[in-house]
Amino acid sequence: MQQHTLRSKGVIHFTNQSTRPLNELWFHLYLNAFKNNRSLFLRNPFALGRSGQTLQEYGYIKVDRLQSAKYGSENLWLKSSPHSPGDPDDATDISVPLPAPILPGESVDLNIEFTSHLPPVLERTGYAGSFHFAGQWYPKLAKLEPNGHFAHFAFHPHSEFYADFGDYDVRISAPSSFTIGSSGNRMEEKTQKGIRTTRFVLRQAHDFAFTAWDGFQVLSEKIGPVTVRLLFPSWHQANALRSLAALRFALPYANELYGPYPYETLTVVHPPEAGADTGGMEYPGMITTGGLWFEPYLGSHAIEAVTVHELLHQWFYGLLASNESETPFLDEGLTSYAETGVMEALFGAGSAFSGVGLDVSVAALHRTNAAFYAGDENIGQPARQFTGFQALGGLVYSRAATILLTLERTWGKAKLAAALRSYTARFRFGHPTPADFIASIEQGLGANAGQFLRTALFERGFIDLKVESIASRRKPIAQGFWTEGAPQVSSQPPATDRESKQWLGRAVVVRRGNLKLPFDVALHLKNGKTERRHLDGSADSLVIDYQGASELSSVEIDPDLKIPLDQDLFNNARAVAPKPARRALDLLLTFAQLLGLGVLP
Amino acid sequence: MTRAARSAVAVFGFWILSLVAGLLLSLPWFSGIEAQGVGGFADGELVLMRQGGAYLLEMLRLGSAQFQSLLLPTVALGLVTTFIGLIPIAGLIVAVVSETGGSRSMFSRACGHWFEFSVLRILTFSIQGVVLLTAWWLAQRPAPLGWDIRQANGLSLAVLGIAGCLLAVVGCFQDLVRVLLVDGHGPRSLARLIRTAGHVARSESLKLLAIWSVLAGVALFLTGLIGAGSLAWVRDHTFATWCVQQLLFVGLILLKLLWFSSLAAAVARERYTRSV
Contact map slice: A 220-259 vs B, CB within 8 A? 233-235
Distances (CA, A) of A187 to A12, A202, A265, A269, A524: 20, 10, 11, 19, 66
Mutate: best of B24, B46, B58, partner A, most A CBs <10 A: B58
At A550-584, the pLDDT tens digits run: 999 999 999 999 999 999 999 999 999 998 888 88
Contact map slice: A 196-225 vs B, CB within 8 A? none
Taking the CA of residue B276 and the nearest CA in chain A, the distance in Å comes to 33
Report yes or no: A471 at the B interface, CB cutoff 8 Å.
no
Q: How far apart are alpha carbons A136 and A502 in whole angstroms?
A: 72
Report all structural domains of chain A as residue ranges with CATH numbers, in order of start.
1-157 (2.60.40), 464-583 (2.60.40)
Report yes or no: A570 at the B interface, CB cutoff 8 Å.
yes
Q: Do B56 and A360 touch (CB under 8 A)?
A: yes
Gyration radius of chain A's alpha carbons: 30
Residue A447's CB is within 10 A of a number of other CB atoms, namely: 9
What's residue A600's pLDDT? 46
Q: Do B223 and A357 touch (CB under 8 A)?
A: no
ipTM of the complex: 0.90
Residue in B with minimal Cα distance to A522: B42
Looking at the DSSP bridge assignments, the partners of residue B145 are none
Q: How far apart are alpha carbons A271 and A259 in whole angstroms?
A: 29
Q: How far apart are alpha carbons A261 and B87 in whole angstroms?
A: 70
Q: How far apart are alpha carbons A307 and B138 in whole angstroms?
A: 34
Q: Can you tell me the mean pLDDT for A60-70?
A: 96
Q: How far apart are alpha carbons A366 and A190 in whole angstroms?
A: 47
Residue B112's CB is within 10 A of a number of other CB atoms, namely: 14
Output A157 or B141, whichever has higher pLDDT: A157
Distances (CA, A) of B133 to B126, B138, B153, B166: 10, 9, 17, 12
Out of B25, B53, B82, name the one closest to residue A364 (CB). B53
Report yes or no: B38 at the A interface, CB cutoff 8 Å.
yes
Q: If you ran DSSP here, which 8-state letter would residue A360 be given?
A: E
Taking the CA of residue B159 and the nearest CA in chain A, the distance in Å comes to 18
What's residue A498's pLDDT? 58
Answer whether A214's CB lies under 8 Å from A202's CB.
no
Instruction: Label residue A599 by pLDDT band (50, 70, 90).
Output: very low
Instruction: Label residue A483 by pLDDT band (50, 70, 90).
Output: low
Please state the pTM of the whole predicted model: 0.88
Chain B residues inside the 8 Å CB shell of A601? 171, 175, 256
Q: Can you tell me the mean pLDDT for A338-360?
A: 92
Instruction: Give the helix/strand (H/E) hosting A115.
Output: strand A107-117
Which ranges of chain B does DSSP label H, i.e. alpha helix?
3-35, 54-62, 64-84, 86-97, 103-112, 114-140, 149-182, 190-233, 239-275
Q: A219 pLDDT exceeds 60?
A: yes
- What is the side-by-side strand order in the sheet with A60-68? A5-15, A107-117, A60-68
- CB proximity list for B46: less than 8 A, separation 6 or greater: A583, B234, B235
Q: A19 pLDDT exceeds 70?
A: yes
Residue in A with minimal Cα distance to B244: A590
What's residue A601's pLDDT? 45
Among the residue ranges A179-193, A228-242, B127-141, the one predicted with the least confidence is B127-141
Taking the CA of residue B28 and the nearest CA in chain A, the distance in Å comes to 10
Q: How far apart are alpha carbons B211 and B214 in whole angstroms?
A: 5
Out of A352, A353, A368, name the one closest to residue B58 (CB). A368
Report yes or no: B223 at the A interface, CB cutoff 8 Å.
yes
What's residue B225's pLDDT? 84
Task: Single out the residue of A64, A372, A225, A306 nearest to residue B60, CA to CA.
Answer: A372
Q: How far apart are alpha carbons A572 and A568 in whole angstroms?
A: 7
Contact map slice: A 575-594 vs B, CB within 8 A? 575, 578-594
Sign of CA dihedral B192, B197, B201, B204: positive
Task: Single out the residue of A564, A467, A397, A10 nearest to residue B57, CA to CA.
Answer: A564
pLDDT of chain B, 276 residues: tens digit per residue: 788 888 899 999 899 988 888 888 889 998 888 888 899 999 998 899 888 999 999 999 999 999 999 999 998 988 888 888 899 899 999 998 887 777 788 888 889 989 999 999 999 999 999 999 998 888 777 665 556 666 777 787 888 889 989 998 898 889 999 998 888 665 567 777 888 888 888 888 888 889 999 998 998 898 888 877 777 666 677 788 888 888 998 999 999 999 999 999 988 888 888 777
